[in-house]
Chains A and B, each alone.
Chain A
Amino acid sequence: METLDFQFASAPVSRSAHTALCGVVGSGNLEILVQAGDQPATCQVSIKTSARGFGATWQAVLATFTTSHPAGGTRIAINDMGATPAVVSLRLAQALAEYRGGEQ
């Protein structure tokens, strides 16, 4: 088990839900919880993962996500069981879309 924490600058998100939960903790999958954060232009991410040694990949996946999506003002908690970057990116997009409500 490894714990990773990141912070990224990101455009502020307009939310319509209090929290959004997406995915399940299963092999090759992950669970993502999006909640309101305290800094409107920052996305804080904390990850618990079963796969050690992929810090640089997480950093790259999250940097791309927070650049291409407005995710400022959120705190994102992730429980991961070895999801590929493809699954992580899809789950992040799903969780954020849920958090923002109907708009894309």
Chain B
Amino acid sequence: MNAPHSRAWDSQRQSRARRLERAASLGLGKQIPAERIIDLLEAVIQPGDRVCLEGNNQKQADFLAESLADCDPARLNHLSMVQSVLALPSHVDLFERGLANRLDFSFSGPQGARLAKLVQEQRIEIGAIHTYLELFGRYFLDLTPNIALIAAQAADAEGNLYLGPNTEDTPAIVEATAFKGGIVIAQVNERLNKLPRVDVPADWVDFTVQAPRPNYIEPLFTRDPAQITEVQVLMAMMAIKGIYAEYGVKRLNHGIGFDTAAIELLLPTYAAELGLKGKICTHWALNPHPTLIPAIESGFVESVHCFGSEVGMDNYVAARSDVFFIGADGSMRSNRAFSQTAGLYACDMFIGSTLQMDLAGNSSTATLGRITGFGGAPNMGSDPHGRRHASPAWLKAGREAAGPNAIRGRKLVVQMVETFREHMAPVFVEELDAWQLQKVMGADLPPIMIYGDDVSHIVTEEGIANLLLCRTPEEREQAIRGVAGFTPVGMARDKAMVENLRDRGIIRRPEDLGIDPRLATRDLLAARSVKDLVRWSGGLYAPPSRFRNW
């Protein structure tokens, strides 16, 4: 018998040792002065490396992102970037300056147009657009980073990290990198002798650098109640009475739009008047939405686990430790991977909004000229076939879809949209822009955010369509047309068939739900301004200055 072919089994560890040696030879210790960060990055990163740049739609490792973009493309090139969100100008600079040429990501909100341009010029190769959980999952399989550039609140002398309330993606990124021969570099806002708590132990962290300014955080989940319209109030009334109450939805996630903010602000008023306190909306996978404060203060909410934190909410959250997940140190620990898991498997409902929906119920936020991605919506907004535990809402939905002998339940996946967006752009369309975007990107699939077969209900100002009860593709199409209002898709409905669907309760109008349109005014909102939210919080909520007008 031949001896097995000999090979080195620790090449990753050896590579890591050589990189650390190069840094040491430049006189770089574990604590890096800000002005030497480029020396460090050029010493430990190699051409072709897979680099994870931390940044979600909240916390950003912005100093490390800018520093990497300022490295010499002659030394660092062909980098393969893996990152949750492409949000900062420096993220796109990496590709424009020739440092990186491949990208696997989840979301690219503000940089969507620049990204689309780079794709058209073939200066960037997109591996895939993922959901957050999918991308985190691949960090532990085939997209494990060689280098992780992360953001922390504070480090101590040994390199232990305190992440603060915006824990977010950091634990997942660090674990994947540190245990597979990679190198972890953290930018920190401050150095402390003693940390409030240790979120990442020092022996998982190779270098820390104190950034010249605190890492950027976007207040993405702050919705000013002053901007909520009466149509949104009407839709929120329909959702509460026609879906939340009927299914007894206790465990849920909300999207970030004004539509769902209106629902949050109707819980202490309209929902309370309907006797729903304690019967709906008790357990949440949700960021600390300021618009949830009145519902929390009214005793509606038992528990909230957060993906990240929200600017200005830290003191309020810390003072409500019965509701939020607070450490012994007194500050919140969020965790995007765990909260997404809760959203996928433990929630009975996701309700959110979209920019376009087609006649099969497929929805997409991708429009021509912008590559935006999905973030976590597809995890929350999908019916997980891996779920096994039952709840009343899940069972009722499952039986509506498959009859009384259904062997599984269904998650409620609700899309809530006004039929027209701004500038009279119809939300309901014959064909999603995503199909043309697929061609432009040369992608395997169109970037569909929520698949139509996962959608259970559509709420518009015209009414609620229950797709679970539709028995044929034709019924489904007419149910969608039947709530599509005066868009061309809505106007082309088969009126007789829509009336039949209404008789069967598949489509329900506000009057069918017993909703008095005169109540649909802003007076029904528990808070009508950001100042009202501050008042509800007993002064604990400290909104960012751009939301203060008093």
Contact = CB atoms under 8 A, between A and B. Distances in A.
A93 B461 CA distance: 12
B90 to A, nearest CB: 37
Contacts of B510: 93
Interface string B473-514: 000000000000110000100000000000000000111001
Interface of B: 229-231, 234, 418-420, 424, 460-462, 485-486, 491, 509-511, 514, 516-518, 520
B520 A84 contact: no
A45 B491 CA distance: 21
Interface in A53-93: 57, 60-61, 64, 68, 84-87, 89-90, 93
A94 B518 contact: yes
A84 B517 contact: no
Contact of B516 (A84, A85, A104): A104
Contacts of A90: 230-231, 234, 461, 517, 520
8 contacts: A84-B418, A85-B486, A86-B462, A86-B485, A90-B230, A90-B234, A90-B517, A97-B516
Contact of A84 (B234, B424, B509, B511): B424
Nearest to A83: B231
Enumerate the 7 nearest inter-chain pairs by beta-carbon distance, A residue then B residue, closest first: A93-B517, A86-B461, A85-B486, A86-B231, A94-B517, A84-B420, A97-B518
Interface of A: 57, 60-61, 64, 68, 84-87, 89-90, 93-94, 97-98, 104
A26 B231 CA distance: 15
Contacts of A68: 509, 511
Contacts of B514: 104
B353 to A, nearest CB: 14
A37 B485 CA distance: 28
Nearest to B520: A90
A98 B419 contact: no
B418 to A, nearest CB: 5
**Most chain-A CB neighbours within 10 Å: which of B419, B491, B510, B517?**
B517
Contacts of B419: 84-86
A64 B230 CA distance: 20
Given A86-B231, A89-B461, A97 B420 contact: no
Tell me if A's interface is mostly helix, strand, loop or mixed.
helix
Nearest to A84: B420
B270 to A, nearest CB: 16
Given A64-B486, A84-B231, A90-B230, 9 more contacts: A61-B486, A84-B418, A84-B424, A85-B485, A86-B231, A86-B460, A90-B231, A94-B517, A104-B514
A93 B521 CA distance: 12
Nearest to A61: B486
Contacts of B491: 60
A94 B519 CA distance: 9
A87 B229 CA distance: 9
A61 B461 CA distance: 13
B520 A94 contact: yes
Contacts of A97: 516-518
B488 to A, nearest CB: 10
Contacts of A61: 486
Contact of B231 (A60, A64, A87): A87
A86 B460 CA distance: 9
A64 B234 CA distance: 18
Contacts of B520: 90, 94
Nearest to B231: A86
Question: Taking each of B460, B462, B486, which has the highest tally of chain A beta carbons within 10 Å of its own beta carbon?
Answer: B486
Nearest to B229: A87
A61 B234 CA distance: 17
Residue with the greatest number of chain B CB neighbours at <10 A, chosen from A85, A86, A104: A86
A97 B511 CA distance: 11
B23 to A, nearest CB: 58
B518 A98 contact: yes
Nearest to A104: B516
Contacts of A60: 486, 491
A93 B237 CA distance: 15
